Structures are given as structure tokens and as C-alpha cells.
Amino acid sequence: MTAEYKVDGAVAVITLNNPPVNGLGHSTRSAIVDGVRRALDDDKVKAIIITGGGKAFSGGADIKEFNSPKAQAEPTLHTVINVVENATKPVIAAIHAVAMGGGLELALGCHYRVAVAGAQIALPEVKLGLLPGAGGTQRLPRLIGLEPALNMIVSGNPVLSEKLAKSGLFDQLIEDELVPGAIAFANKVADVRPLPRVRDKKIDYPNHEAYLQFSRNTVRAVAGPYPAPLKCVEAIAAAVVGPRFEDGIKVERALFMELVQSPESKALRHAFFAERAASKIPDVPEDTPQRSIKSVAIIGAGTMGGGIAMNFANAGIPVKLLEMKPEALEKGLATIRKNYENSMKKGKLTQDKFDQRMGAISGTLDYSEIGQADIVIEAVFEDMKVKEAVFRKLDEVMKPGAILASNTSTLDVNQIASFTKRPQDVIGTHFFSPANVMRLLEIVRGEKTGKDVLATAMALSRKIKKVGVVSGVCDGFIGNRMIEQYSRQAGFLLEEGALPEQVDKAIEKFGFAMGPFRMGDLAGNDIGWYIRKRRYVEKPEVTYSKTADLLCEMGRYGQKTSAGWYDYKPGDRKPYPSQVVNDMIVKHSADIGVERRKISDQEIVERLVYSLVNEGAQILEEGIAIRASDIDMVYLSGYGFPLFRGGPMFHADTVGLPNVVMAMEKYARGRHGDAWKPAALLARLAAEGKTFN
Ligand code: NAI
């Protein structure tokens, strides 16, 4: 039963019961219609209440039904709302905790609404690239007025019920218990006729055309590549100009259908589901026992160690940072303090919170002080010898059952585990820089990593508000292994005729937050140099453009040396194209005998993005990533891949895999064509007309 029906005196109470948030799935919708009909047929019943059991009134559409035929099956939400709105006895929505999306639209179809304080009220469809498609754009402005409704619908942000007390949305704010209060209200209005219907109200806004035009302009300016916010305005405009309610509903419907088909909305919905899917590990069921994490130790208080520590302090988990030398420890702690002070200056952190967070972090030089921590995360230099010494020591001092994690970005987690007598407790937790900001956390599963350790790390990532994505062990894991191919292409493009600025501009126009060369300057070009030097020895067969090495030989490490691919002015992060660098690139082409040619932006984007796609396919095939959408999540949350394109694998699906393969075949005939052999999985899916996702 997804809704319960009870009668209390002259009032029927329909209580939605579809945990966790009373999503309006097919059976819940049917149960509402059945309940209303039953109440209408019962002469003793004079009024009907719809309320939500458990944690919500209703969170809207049932996400389990998304993209399934059930979502469209009768009774649709439209039908339910029609039944409610046309009922011959008053229907009252009694709201607590959450009334969002379709849940709020259902409430808007009721004759009355009552609520308790603290309920989150929202029409968040725009966040999935859609608009409220069950009358929300038509009814909300009729009830609370044009401006407040437009703000809610275009932003999608929740507003607390008490803040809406005077908006007209609620007929009464209930002080005590919701259902008894709603029943009292129902008895009071039971005989009032005619029944008030939101659809019959008129929107009274003097000079609405001017306001709508102003809204279109502002919304267009901030919507970027997303069509939904402007369509929301258009749907609301239809409610204002009318003339009839049905006309507005038709406009809303048509705009909704357009948005459902838009690639931007498809990408946003993909990302929404991808984030939820990432937390599921096929052979680690949800009820896998977890280890309790109440304290954390971190080895190394450098760039990463400090940022990682802040995540735990922010979540209220005490952290101990261990360093070798007092100066390093002092420096690490001072950086953390400065970061928090900056947040305080920006008004993002109160003194209270500052004290709490700094209070949660302490330093030590002594391993005996961290032995009782529930998890220890190693973030020392990226050098296997150093990691070995640290892990042998951790094996000695850590209590049994402690999780031993490494933040390594390139080293073999299995080998690291082998330095201990408890490889089942060892796992990779690969944070991204700045670790206190970036949402991505790659959770690296070693051959022997225990399932409980994996489940614990996954839950911990949620606790510190990260997107945890599981990766198998390989050089670079999911994200960096793919970016390596992207960087190689970026280098080859320079040799063949492009300059850093053109490459960056082209890929930024595609939607990346930052192109590869600006990114290199930000992260430090010396890091890649260091990794390449190792690769020249370990994998001499892999080729790279020499331009990046030449750049580093010039001492141009990036922003930190005020010179990288671009020139920088002191105190200014703005990149200025650099004549010396561009000359170096052009000369290098001549030195290796490559005749520079004009390269189109399309070629730049395809070569950068498809190099990600091909390596992603390889990673998927090897089982390093569990699913294509995990790869998309890595790129959306850690690498600035444009959200409106849904991640590299989803983008490839959108372009069509046969088209991707065709482009790759073209590039295979060019320089370094060997990089363009399609991964077997990609070739097969393209041939079968299938997609990654
Ligand atoms: P870092 O050089 O800023 O910090 C390393 C810290 O570890 C230094 O403060 C050093 O004094 C300390 N340390 C070295 N050996 C130690 C030992 N035996 N015992 C205790 N402390 C010791 O390096 P960073 O950038 O923080 O990198 C740390 C780890 O994180 C590396 O494995 C790196 O590959 C990884 N990583 C780095 C990222 C980045 O963007 N910097 C991103 C993701 C991972």
C-alpha cells in the first residue's frame, strides 16, 4: 500500500506511504485517486486531507520510475491533480518536511493547504533542465504572485514554509501536530462553497509585460548554455497573459516536452543518476557492515594532507596530522588556519565554527600518538620508498582494524598494501587538489581490500560531502589515466600548428572550466614533468610532445613562477599569451620537421575529448571503472568537464559512437596515429549501434 485511507469523523485522511520521500510513483498516484473517489462516495465524509507519512509530504516524481513507461501510465500526475481539483468536497494538503516538484504541484491542485514550520518548499525541476510540468508554472504565480513564483521556479531553490507564511501559499500554518490541526481546519471549511480553486484566480500584476521582459533579460544573462530557466519564464508568462488557464497549461506542456528532449536536460538527469549510481558497488551490498570512524590521522601536512584534514574537521571528526619535522608541521597547520581565516573574512565561516574546526585539528611528530585513529590517510611525497617506510611503520603502530589509506595519485596500491601484514585494511583515497574544495574522491580498491573497508570509505566520502567513485588499481586510476591521453593530444596539437591560447579557448568554448595549458599553469607544469621523466624510463614506447619539457627547462612552472605556458603579472592570475613560449613552440615544430598547419577548433575539441573517451572505454573494458557513468562522474566532479554535456562517455553517446569512431579513424591517418586505435569496447558498441550508458 503506497497510501493509507482512514476516516476521522467527517474527514477522510489519505496518508502517502512510499518511502523514503513519498515519490509520486504509479501506485501512489492510483492510491490518491482511489482515496479521493472513496471519500466522495462516502456520505459521512465532508472533507479530504492528503498528507505524507514518514519523512516528507512528497518529494515529487518517483525517481525509481524515471524513464520507465510507468511514469506516463494513468493516472498521471495531471489526472490526479484534475481529480483533486474537481472534487466536490474540499481537499486539503497537509504539509510537513518536504513538498517539492510534483509534490508541491499536487498541493497546488488542492483547495486548501496547511503546513507546519520547517518544511522545504520548492519546484526544483529547473535543476534537471526541466520545468514544473504538472501545472506548477500556472498555479504558483496565481497563488503567491508573479515575482515570488518566478524566483522560486527559475532558481529551483527551496524556501522554508514559515518564510511563505504570508505568501498566500498556505491557508494556515499549524502550530502543533499537523494532522489533528489539519482535521480541525478541514471541519471548519467543510461546508464552504464554492470550493476555492487556484486555477480560477487571476494574476494581478500591473505592467507585467515590462517585468517579464526584465526577467527574460536577466535570466538569459545568467542561464549560460541551459535553456530551461528561460523556458520557465515563458511558461509563467503564459499564466499571466492567459486568457484561459487551459491555454497556459498547454504552453507549459509544450515547453516541458521540448526540455525533456534537450541534450542539456538529458545530461543533467544523467549526472543526477550517475551520482547516485556511483555509490553502488555490485559485489558490496548496501548492508555490508562498516567500521566506525570517529577519528582520523593524516601523514604529511603538505598541500594535500592539510586540505584532506579540513574535510574531516568540517564534518566534526577530529584529525591528527603527523609530520617529520616541526617546521613542516607548523607550516601545514598555519596554511589550514589561513584557509579558515580567509573563509571567515569572506563571511562564509563564523568565529564559533572557526574555533570548532581549528579545535578539531592537532599536530604531532610522534607515531605513538596516532595508533588509536580509526583511519589513517597517508599523503607524503609521491615516492614508493617513502610510502614503503610509512606503511611499514603504520603496520607497527596502528590498532587492529584501523583503515590504512593512501592518497597516492600514480603508485600501485597493491604494492603499498604488500608493505603491511594487513592488506585487507589498505585502500586508496585519492583526493583532488584543492582537497578541501574539489568534490571528487577516487576510492581505489586494491586486490585485497576488504569489502567492509570499501563500504566504510564510501560512506565516509558521503559524510565529508565528496562524490566517491570506485577505481581499480592502474597507473593514474580513472581520472589521471584519461587526462594523460588528453594532455598528450594537447602537446601534439602545439607541434602541429596550434598555440596554447587557441587550444584553451576552443575547449573552454566547448564548456571546460579551464583548458589544458591554463590548467597546467595552475597545477604546476613541473608535476607532469616529474611524471613524464619516470615514464620515459618505464614506458619508453609512449610518445609525448617535447614542448612541455622545454617549457620546464625554461623554468616556467606556471603561476607559482609567474611564468608558464602564459605570462603572469604579480598578484594577477590572468594569463597573457607569451611570445617566448610561442616562439619556442614554433621553433620546436621546425626542429622536428613538422610543417605547421591551421588547426580548426573542431579538431582541437574532438582530439582532446575523444582521447578521453577512448581511454575511458579501455578503462571500462578492463574493469577499472565499474560503469561508464562513474567515469562521467569523475570528469564532472574532478576535471571541470561541462555538466551540460554530461561527462565524456555520455557526450560520446550523444554524438553517436559511430561518429566518434569515424573521427578517430580520420585522426589515425595523421601524426601519432597510433594513439587513435579505437578501444575494442568502443568499436564493438559502435558497430552494434549501442551506447556506453
Ligand atoms: P607535498 O610535498 O605538498 O606534501 C608532502 C608532505 O609530506 C610534506 O609536508 C612532507 O614534509 C611530508 N612528508 C614527507 N615524507 C614524510 C614522512 N615520511 N612522514 C611524514 N611526513 C612526510 O605533497 P602533496 O602535493 O601534498 O602530495 C602528497 C601526496 O598526495 C602524493 O602522494 C601525491 O601524489 C598525492 N596527490 C597530490 C595531488 C596534488 O595536486 N598535489 C593531487 C592528488 C594526490
**CA nearest neighbour of 650 among 272, 156, 280, 282:** 272
Q: Where are the domains of the chain?
A: 3-260, 296-471, 479-687
pLDDT at 571: 82
Contact 553, 589 (CB under 8 A): no
Answer yes or no: is the C-beta of 408 below 6 A from any ligand 1 atom: yes
Answer yes or no: is the C-beta of 525 below 6 A from any ligand 1 atom: no
| Percentage with pLDDT > 90 across the chain | 95
Task: Indicate if 508 belongs to the active site.
Answer: no
Q: Is the pTM of this model over 0.85?
A: yes
Instruction: For residues 145 and 203, give the distance between their C-alpha atoms in angstroms, rounded to a whole number.
Output: 7
Instruction: Report the separation in Å between the CA atom of 388 and the middle of ligand 1, taken as the mean of its atom positions.
Output: 14
| Atom 1 of ligand 1, nearest CA residue | 302
Instruction: For residues 262 and 560, give the distance between their C-alpha atoms in angstroms, rounded to a whole number.
Output: 42
Contact 213, 237 (CB under 8 A): no
| DSSP letter (8 states) at residue 70 | G
Instruction: Report the separation in Å between the CA atom of 336 and the middle of ligand 1, taken as the mean of its atom positions.
Output: 15
Beta bridge partners of 95: 115
Answer yes or no: is the C-beta of 335 below 6 A from any ligand 1 atom: no
Q: Tell me the per-residue pLDDT of 273-307, one tens digit each, with 9 for 90 and over.
A: 999 999 999 999 999 999 999 999 999 999 999 99
CATH topology (fold) of 296-471: Rossmann fold (3.40.50)
Strand 319-322 and strand 172-173: pairing? unpaired
Task: Indicate if 496 belongs to the active site.
Answer: no
CATH number of 479-687: 1.10.1040.50
Answer yes or no: is the C-beta of 299 below 6 A from any ligand 1 atom: yes
Instruction: Report the separation in Å between the CA atom of 545 and the middle of ligand 1, taken as the mean of its atom positions.
Output: 27
Q: Tell me the per-residue pLDDT of 364-406, one tens digit each, with 9 for 90 and over.
A: 999 999 999 999 999 999 999 999 999 999 999 999 999 999 9
Q: Tell me the per-residue pLDDT of 229-245, one tens digit each, with 9 for 90 and over.
A: 999 999 999 999 878 99
Indicate if the alpha-carbon torsion angle 15, 19, 20, 26 is positive or negative: negative
Q: How many residues are there in the chain?
A: 693
Domain 3-260 has CATH 3.40.50.2300: no
17 by Cβ neighbours in 10 Å (0-12 / 13-18 / 19+) ranks as middle
**What average pLDDT does the structure give for the chain?**
96
- Strand blocks (E) in 53-184: 91-95, 98-100, 112-115, 120-122, 159-160, 172-173
Q: Tell me the per-residue pLDDT of 97-124, one tens digit each, with 9 for 90 and over.
A: 999 999 999 999 999 999 999 999 999 9
- Asked whether the bond before 434 is cis by omega within 30 degrees of 0, the reply is yes
Buried b (16+ CB within 10 A) or exposed e, 253-279: eebbeebeebbbbbbbbbbeebbebbb
pLDDT at 66: 78
Q: Tell me the per-residue pLDDT of 55-88, one tens digit each, with 9 for 90 and over.
A: 999 999 998 887 788 988 999 999 999 999 999 9
Atom of ligand 1 nearest to the CA of 431: 43
For a ligand 1 pocket test, name from 298, 299, 303, 419 the mutation site with the most ligand atoms within 8 angstroms of its C-beta. 303
pLDDT > 80? residue 651: yes
Given the residues 65, 85, 125, 275, the one annotated as active site:
125
pLDDT at 63: 82
Instruction: Report the separation in Å between the CA atom of 637 and the middle of ligand 1, taken as the mean of its atom positions.
Output: 22
Instruction: Report the separation in Å between the CA atom of 323 and the middle of ligand 1, taken as the mean of its atom positions.
Output: 10
Given the residues 105, 275, 378, 606, the one annotated as active site:
105
Using pLDDT thresholds of 50, 70 and 90, give the confidence band for residue 460: very high
Answer yes or no: is the C-beta of 230 below 6 A from any ligand 1 atom: no
